[in-house]
Chains A and B, each alone.
Chain A
Amino acid sequence: MRNIVRSLITLLALCLTAPGQAIDPKLLLHPPADSWLTYHGDYSGRRHSSLAQITPENVTALQQVWKFQPEGGRGFKSSPIVANGILYLTTPDNIWAADVRTGKELWHYKNRQNDAFHIGHRGTAIYKDTVYLTTPDCHLIALNARDGKVKWDVVIADSDKGYWSTHAPLIIGNHVLVGVAGDFDNLPGLLKSFDGDTGKLQWTFYSTPPPGSKDSISGGATGGQMWITGTYDPDLNLVYVGTGNPTPVLNGGARPGDNPWTCSIVALNADTGKLVWGFQPSPHDTHDWDAVEVPVLADAVFNGQPRKLLMQASRNGYFFVLDRTNGKSLLTVPFAAVNWAKGIDAQGRPIPDPAKYPSRSGVLVAPNEGGATNYRSPSFDPQTGLFIVNAADSYGIYFFKPEHGSYGWAGADYGVAERSFLRAIDYRTGKIVWSHPIGEGAGSAGVLTTDSGLTFSGDNHGNFLALRTSDGTTVWHENIGRMGNAPVTLELDGKQYLLVGGGNALYAFRLRDSAPASGAPAVPGGHHGAAARQ
């Protein structure tokens, strides 16, 4: 029975999305090649595409097709989605729809003026004919995907208390999962599921207890905000979400113990929001190292056994591999400069060294507050087994004294120096297979890999880079301004497109029509195949 359902779903996926067609959420299980339907592109968070028309051999024939620079646009920290030939792009308070073939704006919706935090925005999501915008003032707004007309508008959390939202929702069936952020106030961490049709609240998951709770396990910590889109395993019906740092942020003494479930990866039942398991990359964090980085899912062999894996390159500098059925650790290895842990405990968690807690006279800590990586998407390439991440070797100095109190930040910290790299980690061992320098300071680009052996990302000088995935050598570059997130890719009219934000614009690239097809391998998978050219 399940096989029949699978075949039907596959058939459905093979039918390319057509203009005006509603996006059935089942399509997200097998996203078609002419779309990029979710923040991550699929439920696995791998940001890997089977498209292979653009290859290491012909990538130098890439050329810009259009540039979308909307009025009032700002640096894009978001990842666009594409459905029915329409791309949807967001910044705080704004969502645009544009024709993906031409980059021409179709409609624009601007949220009401508000004085909430405007830090950035990750993107939107589509369910049937509705797209969703989370706002700095913590509303979830449902819009008609065709014309941008508001269908409904609900409050996620109280922005007057210090919450804001940058979240790209995760659609699972009729669930619209949205998270919030808020570091400057002691607020419980929450993730909510709304009905995609009506906006009715379905469930709330608290990573730290809401006010008035008894039996708190968090040790008095608040925080643990879930501000990056999670991933999902349909067979287990588990959604995986990373949680942020505890508050007060640098004053750990005010919240003794490990402070679950802050700086954690949590597995939740998608229909109820109930916690199934949790794993803490940073127990008792005192350095602002949110563990919200994408929990990437893969089914692969580990130590000779086929496993359901979850991988995270965490902001605290460690790469984690877990069994995602139960949250048990399989591997914990640093992927960047770290000096804050005394070792790894029996559960696979780094053990914080109290000597590196923020202090009155200051401690020198690697990584710095921004972390060894941050929210920008990594990519997992199943062919090479490489997990490719924007990484930094960085140092900061951290201070806390009782006069700093126990509200909000409760301390002070300063970056000292930082160097960035694109690093390829072998998921089986944690070994760094290659490390490609991208400049001083913090990196800002995410990563996309494709089946043709290409890795797309950016450096700190505004160059959009194509690297050979196997060894990290650059095969093409073009300066488009600093990237704020990862590229996406899709196939339209037989041509593979790359969409990437640089500076204040979104760019579309594809191969020149006259580009040689030399070296382009025959591509399995039919609908993903390169059109015969010339």
Chain B
Amino acid sequence: MMAQQNGQPPAAPGNAGGNRRNPATTPASRPAPRTATPQTYSAEEVRNGEAKFAAQCGFCHGRDAAGGETGPDLTRSQLVADDNRGDKIGPLVRAGVPDKGMPAFELSTADLNAIVAFIHDRKTKTESLVGGRRSVDPGDLATGDVEAGRKYFNGAGGCSGCHSPAGDLAGIASRYKGLVLLRRMLYPSGRPAPKPATVTLTLASGETIKAPLASEDEFSIAILDPQGKRQTYEKTSVKFKIDNPLAAHFDQLGKYTDADMHNVYTYLDTLK
């Protein structure tokens, strides 16, 4: 078992899954929140927690808690940052998050405490790293051509239709670095949340409402009203049009060459 710990861990969420609008399910792409209440754990607690975590949590959250096949990066989780000796993590683990595919876990208090110790230890260790996860260094990424990137940004990429280096992207490379910047460039997620989709709803009465989209499935659509409350409508009872700025990002993923991607990244990396 320990031999496995020394192996290269599962890299990351190819299969991140879940609802990308919920920051709890979107790993990386943002600075990790700071631990609210500093807490320390013995090496033995951490070691014990490492084995328990690997067995119970590792496949979804990665063996080092930095995100796995379906689970988010816990070292960047707000809930973990707010947790003090399991007061937030414990109830969540015991109840599960069935909607997000996380089952409820039946754990002894000792096992749970060990897992909490391990997660906090991983968070402390990860906080000392800047930007990227694993060994993807910012220096690995800026291999493109700034001018070609600028040209793509203003031309074929269509980026300038929504973004500007003097406007929303001013100083972007100071706020995000390395892998975080690259992932945010390709498909913005995490915090601060990207601009939500806007819904234009026409009710049966003929009234028209324009509001941010809260969630949507095949059968219903939910908006945030001016008070920030969710209002849900059956799709059969309204007419609606959704304007999602992220749709262009998704479409672009099928168009980038790797050279385009690195050029645009290298260009954005100059916007300090």
Instruction: Check if A115 sits within 8 Å of B51, measured CB to CB.
Output: yes
For A374, the chain B residues whose CB sits under 8 A away are 15
- Is B43's CB within 8 Å of the partner chain A? no
* Given A414-B11, A440-B20, A481-B99: A185 touches B4 (CB 8 Å cut-off): yes
- Is B136's CB within 8 Å of the partner chain A? yes
- Is A119's CB within 8 Å of the partner chain B? yes
In the assembled complex, how far is the CB of residue A331 from the closest CB belonging to chain B, in whole angstroms?
A: 24
Interface string of B176-198 (1 = CB under 8 A from A): 00010011001100000000000
- Is B145's CB within 8 Å of the partner chain A? no
- Is A67's CB within 8 Å of the partner chain B? no
Instruction: Check if A414 sits within 8 Å of B183, measured CB to CB.
Output: yes
For A460, the chain B residues whose CB sits under 8 A away are 17-19
Instruction: Check if B254 sits within 8 Å of A463, measured CB to CB.
Output: no
The stretch of B56-64, B148-156, B160-168, B223-231 that contacts the partner chain:
B56-64
Instruction: Check if A477 sits within 8 Å of B219, measured CB to CB.
Output: yes
Instruction: Check if B8 sits within 8 Å of A409, measured CB to CB.
Output: yes
For A414, the chain B residues whose CB sits under 8 A away are 11-14, 28, 133, 179, 183
Q: CA separation between A285 and B59, bound complex, in Å?
A: 21
For A441, the chain B residues whose CB sits under 8 A away are 16-20, 25
A370 is contacted by which of B54, B69, B141, B254 (Cβ under 8 Å)?
A: B69
For A409, the chain B residues whose CB sits under 8 A away are 7-11
- Is A368's CB within 8 Å of the partner chain B? yes
Please give the number of chain A residues whose Cβ is less than 8 angstroms from any Cβ of chain B in the complex. 80
Interface string of B193-228 (1 = CB under 8 A from A): 000000000000000000000000111000000000
- Is B175's CB within 8 Å of the partner chain A? no
Instruction: Check if A482 sits within 8 Å of B141, measured CB to CB.
Output: no
In the assembled complex, how far is the CB of residue A472 from the closest CB belonging to chain B, in whole angstroms?
A: 12
For A503, the chain B residues whose CB sits under 8 A away are 98-99
For B242, the chain A residues whose CB sits under 8 A away are none
The stretch of A95-103, A235-243, A416-424 that contacts the partner chain:
A416-424
Instruction: Check if B101 sits within 8 Å of A412, measured CB to CB.
Output: no
B217 is contacted by which of A160, A369, A461 (Cβ under 8 Å)?
A: A461
User: Which residues 476-496 in A have Cβ within 8 Å of B in the complex?
Assistant: 477, 481-482, 484
Instruction: Check if A119 sits within 8 Å of B59, measured CB to CB.
Output: yes
Instruction: Check if A184 sits within 8 Å of B52, measured CB to CB.
Output: no
Instruction: Check if B11 sits within 8 Å of A412, measured CB to CB.
Output: yes
User: Which residues 249-272 in B have Cβ within 8 Å of A in the complex?
Assistant: 249-250, 253-254, 256, 258, 261-262
Interface string of A391-430 (1 = CB under 8 A from B): 0011111010101110111111111111100000000000
Instruction: Check if A361 sits within 8 Å of B183, measured CB to CB.
Output: no
In the assembled complex, how far is the CB of residue B15 from the closest CB belonging to chain A, in whole angstroms?
A: 2
Residue of B nearest to A407 (CB): B7
Instruction: Check if B8 sits within 8 Å of A407, measured CB to CB.
Output: yes
Secondary structure dominating the interface of B? loop
Interface centre among B8, B10, B134, by most A CB within 10 Å? B8
Residue of B nearest to A75 (CB): B103
In the assembled complex, how far is the CB of residue B59 from the closest CB belonging to chain A, in whole angstroms?
A: 4
Instruction: Check if B219 sits within 8 Å of A463, measured CB to CB.
Output: yes
Instruction: Check if B218 sits within 8 Å of A477, measured CB to CB.
Output: yes
In the assembled complex, how far is the CB of residue B172 from the closest CB belonging to chain A, in whole angstroms?
A: 18
User: Which residues 165-189 in A have Cβ within 8 Å of B in the complex?
Assistant: 183-185
Instruction: Check if B8 sits within 8 Å of A183, measured CB to CB.
Output: no
- Is A116's CB within 8 Å of the partner chain B? yes
Q: CA separation between A416 and B55, bound complex, in Å?
A: 27
Q: CA separation between A46 and B219, bound complex, in Å?
A: 29
In the assembled complex, how far is the CB of residue B218 from the closest CB belonging to chain A, in whole angstroms?
A: 6
Q: CA separation between A531 and B253, bound complex, in Å?
A: 52
Q: CA separation between A103 and B12, bound complex, in Å?
A: 38
For B103, the chain A residues whose CB sits under 8 A away are 73-75, 91, 504
Q: CA separation between A175 and B252, bound complex, in Å?
A: 51
Interface centre among A120, A136, A355, A396, by most B CB within 10 Å? A396
Please give the number of chain B residues whose Cβ is less than 8 angstroms from any Cβ of chain A in the complex. 63
User: Which residues 40-96 in A have Cβ within 8 Å of B in the complex?
Assistant: 71-75, 91
Instruction: Check if B7 sits within 8 Å of A184, measured CB to CB.
Output: yes
Residue of A nearest to B143 (CB): A361
Q: CA separation between A288 and B8, bound complex, in Å?
A: 14
B1 is contacted by which of A115, A417, A418 (Cβ under 8 Å)?
A: A115
B140 is contacted by which of A136, A339, A395, A399 (Cβ under 8 Å)?
A: A399
- Is B240's CB within 8 Å of the partner chain A? no
Q: CA separation between A469 and B201, bound complex, in Å?
A: 31
* Given A114-B55, A463-B218, A481-B99: A185 touches B11 (CB 8 Å cut-off): no
B52 is contacted by which of A115, A119, A407, A413 (Cβ under 8 Å)?
A: A115
Q: CA separation between A439 and B221, bound complex, in Å?
A: 13
Instruction: Check if A361 sits within 8 Å of B17, measured CB to CB.
Output: no
Q: CA separation between A364 and B250, bound complex, in Å?
A: 13
- Is B105's CB within 8 Å of the partner chain A? yes
In the assembled complex, how far is the CB of residue A62 from the closest CB belonging to chain B, in whole angstroms?
A: 16
- Is B37's CB within 8 Å of the partner chain A? no
Instruction: Check if A412 sits within 8 Å of B99, measured CB to CB.
Output: no
- Is A28's CB within 8 Å of the partner chain B? no
Instruction: Check if B15 sits within 8 Å of A442, measured CB to CB.
Output: yes
Interface string of B98-113 (1 = CB under 8 A from A): 1111111110000000
Residue of A nearest to B108 (CB): A113
- Is B3's CB within 8 Å of the partner chain A? yes
For B15, the chain A residues whose CB sits under 8 A away are 368-371, 374, 415, 418, 442
Q: CA separation between A481 and B101, bound complex, in Å?
A: 8
* Given A442-B70, A463-B217: A361 touches B3 (CB 8 Å cut-off): no
For B262, the chain A residues whose CB sits under 8 A away are 361-362
For A222, the chain B residues whose CB sits under 8 A away are none
- Is A360's CB within 8 Å of the partner chain B? yes
Instruction: Check if B106 sits within 8 Å of A72, measured CB to CB.
Output: yes
For A527, the chain B residues whose CB sits under 8 A away are none
A362 is contacted by which of B135, B136, B218 (Cβ under 8 Å)?
A: B136
* Given A405-B8, A481-B98: A117 touches B13 (CB 8 Å cut-off): no
* Given A115-B51, A412-B11: A366 touches B98 (CB 8 Å cut-off): no
Instruction: Check if A184 sits within 8 Å of B9, measured CB to CB.
Output: yes
Instruction: Check if B140 sits within 8 Å of A118, measured CB to CB.
Output: no
Instruction: Check if A482 sits within 8 Å of B253, measured CB to CB.
Output: no
Residue of B nearest to A363 (CB): B258
- Is B31's CB within 8 Å of the partner chain A? no
For B52, the chain A residues whose CB sits under 8 A away are 115
Instruction: Check if B12 sits within 8 Å of A404, measured CB to CB.
Output: no
- Is B96's CB within 8 Å of the partner chain A? yes
Instruction: Check if A74 sits within 8 Å of B8, measured CB to CB.
Output: no
| Closest 6 A/B residue pairs (Cβ) | A369-B14, A370-B15, A74-B103, A408-B7, A119-B59, A503-B98
Q: Please name 6 further chain A to chain B contacts, defined as beta carbons within 8 Å, in addition to the given A409-B11, A504-B98, sorted by A numbering.
A: A75-B96, A75-B102, A162-B3, A361-B141, A362-B182, A484-B101
Interface residues of B (CB under 8 A from A): 1, 3-4, 7-20, 25, 28, 51-52, 54-56, 58-60, 63, 69-70, 96, 98-106, 133-136, 140-141, 143, 179, 182-183, 186-187, 217-219, 249-250, 253-254, 256, 258, 261-262
